Structure 1
């Protein structure tokens, strides 16, 4: 079969199963197989696929028809111009998480910091600290990021991403640690950042199967009210000895509940930032 025939038949199959952006999905699969961009793909429409290439395409198509996210099928995605390897052990990076990185970088620039120490809780694929490290290097800001993660398989993926993005060991260290079991943090850090599991148990059951059926549950929900990690963060921050700032991604419906928690912990210096959709997505404290 020629490339155009494969493109058209595969697009029809995905459309028939109600998959959005069917043609784009197929184009990206074919680009992955041929290691080319979409422009070159369009110049090769008459190119026949080998038996091996057809087998790869059929396998990818079967997986997509079962609802598996395209990013897992391709094995990678992009986050803020960083190539990020992904698999079912890590959450697929979302565009809205870029807001967290932007708030952090803007705050560092506004304070004119030249040497920054950051603690991240729950690194997953490592997309956040990698994007932060790259931008701080571009700005000539010396930095040390320590990222905590409970999943061994996620750590392996994050280490791979650290390597392919040329992040030095003295800039980013990934540590296996259960943050919820920690009682103290270093007061030498400037920032505590996190995109924690914030989907509550009820909403998790309502998630699209493309998410709950493939992405790691531990990265999506605390299996409670969605506030478990924030309670821990705020309890630690309420202790007078801690002077660092906190920047967290939050769920679309958590701002009022978080304000109540901050009042309980006598925290008044905070601000909610909206994402591109006008949704309160990031909370900065301090």
Structure 2
């Protein structure tokens, strides 16, 4: 019977031969998942024998990872802003850059109650995180996505983490009225209310103070790593140039902002000139593009 250390090393060697990046860290994550412990705990039990009942599921996970299935899908969750979010094939796997976007948005939100729209929410990481971080300043947080499957996942994350949000299925702003409207029908109202709080529906007010969007921005036909291609293609590809969906969003987003409200985006590494030109053409003010930790102009902001 092999020890934990021997299994860790043989699994790392296997993943390395299969061309997996960060093979040792990946193997640690998989072993911790199978053994129901954290990665740090592995180091205190290197001599522990690994039972066949534990090896069988580990072998299956190794095969799936070697075949290109993302580690986050295998684990079923990923960490974002110090919280565990469910992740699976229903939505885009959160990227580290998106945490930077959330940090920047939080710094720019005024110190008063605000309405927030997370457009293209996917797994809900942006909107749910903002709702939890803003606490009582989150007057309303709406999660919007074209995919009902993604919205189901976002709602699961909101419920698990205790975030008070609403969801709406829509192709960008198609189902979000500008005029003052009655509450949405019950079947489209997916509000998650904190215990003891009254539920509300999108549409009670018409505009937002903050609209954040991590929309598809990869050009159609661009070659991506096999594991990236496991994400929903509708969450990856934004058109022939990559920014077509972003342009559709920007064409209408300004009308949905309150005065002094802002939009914040995550875009491709070479798209800042095109996107800022688009924003200027649609009348956004105080346009700036902030850089990510790698120095890439990644996050455009624009105000009404």
TM over 0.5: same fold?
yes
The corresponding residue for 1:193 is: 212
Tell me whether 1:120 sits opposite 2:136 in the alignment.
no
Q: Distance in 2 between matches of 1:256 and 1:163?
A: 39
Q: Distance in 1 between matches of 2:250 and 2:145?
A: 19
The corresponding residue for 1:246 is: 263
Aligned residue pairs total 275
Is the CA contact (8 Å cut-off) linking 2:269 and 2:296 kept in structure 1?
Answer: yes
Q: Which has the higher contact order (CA 8 A, sep 6+)?
A: 1
Tell me whether 1:91 sits opposite 2:92 in the alignment.
yes
Structure-to-structure mapping, 1:200-279, within 5 angstroms: 200-203=219-222, 206-212=223-229, 214-237=230-253, 239=255, 243=259, 244-279=261-296
Which blocks of at least 5 consecutive residues in structure 2 are unaligned?
179-204
Deviations 1:36-70 (A, max 9, x none): 12221111122222222111100000011112111
Structure-to-structure mapping, 1:1-286, within 5 angstroms: 1-108=2-109, 111-113=110-112, 115-137=113-135, 140-167=136-163, 171-179=164-172, 181-182=174-175, 184-185=177-178, 187-203=206-222, 206-212=223-229, 214-237=230-253, 239=255, 243=259, 244-286=261-303
Is the CA contact (8 Å cut-off) linking 1:124 and 1:154 kept in structure 2?
Answer: yes
Is the CA contact (8 Å cut-off) linking 1:180 and 1:229 kept in structure 2?
Answer: no
Q: Distance in 2 between matches of 1:20 and 1:3?
A: 21
Distance 1:59 1:241, change over 3 A: closer
Deviates more, 1:182-191 or 1:55-64: 182-191
Is the CA contact (8 Å cut-off) linking 1:99 and 1:281 kept in structure 2?
Answer: no
Which blocks of at least 5 consecutive residues in structure 1 are unaligned?
none
The corresponding residue for 2:191 is: none
Q: Which has the higher helix share?
A: 1
Calculate the TM-score normalised by the size of structure 2. Answer: 0.84
Q: CA deviation at 1:238?
A: 5.3
Distance 1:45 1:126, change over 3 A: same
Q: Distance in 1 between matches of 2:287 and 2:40?
A: 46
CA root-mean-square deviation: 1.9
Q: CA deviation at 1:85?
A: 0.8
Q: Distance in 2 between matches of 1:147 and 1:128?
A: 9
Q: CA deviation at 1:273?
A: 0.6
Is the CA contact (8 Å cut-off) linking 2:289 and 2:299 kept in structure 1?
Answer: yes
Q: CA deviation at 1:75?
A: 0.9
Calculate the TM-score normalised by the size of structure 1. Answer: 0.89
